[in-house]
């Protein structure tokens, strides 16, 4: 995953992230600001998942958005 790209284009990604994980609010996403560790931590807290399961889900999500030239 290219989190440097995600940080640089976070406003573009936020909409797709919100569609995928509706429990995350604009406030959550603004505070995360593309930081991988905070994103994974917030996902774990909001969805009560393990770090490994969260990483796998985020990687899968990232793979579906790579055709657009952006990966998170």
User: Each residue of 33-65: pLDDT tens digit?
Assistant: 888 899 999 999 999 999 999 999 988 887 776
Domain range summary for the chain, segments of one domain joined by +: 3-66
Q: Cα–Cα–Cα angle for 13, 31, 59, nearest 5°?
A: 40
Cα–Cα distance measured from residue 2 to residue 19, given in angstroms and rounded to the nearest whole number: 20
* Domain 3-66 = CATH 1.10.287.110: no
**pLDDT mean over 63-72:** 56
């Amino acid at each position: 995953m290219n989190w440097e790209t995600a940080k640089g284009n976070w406003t573009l990604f936020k909409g797709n992230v919100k569609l995928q994980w509706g429990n995350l609010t604009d406030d959550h996403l603004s505070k995360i600001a593309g930081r991988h560790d905070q994103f994974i931590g917030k996902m774990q807290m909001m969805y009560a998942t393990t770090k490994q399961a969260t990483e796998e889900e985020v990687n899968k999500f990232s793979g579906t958005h790579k055709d657009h030239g952006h990966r998170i």
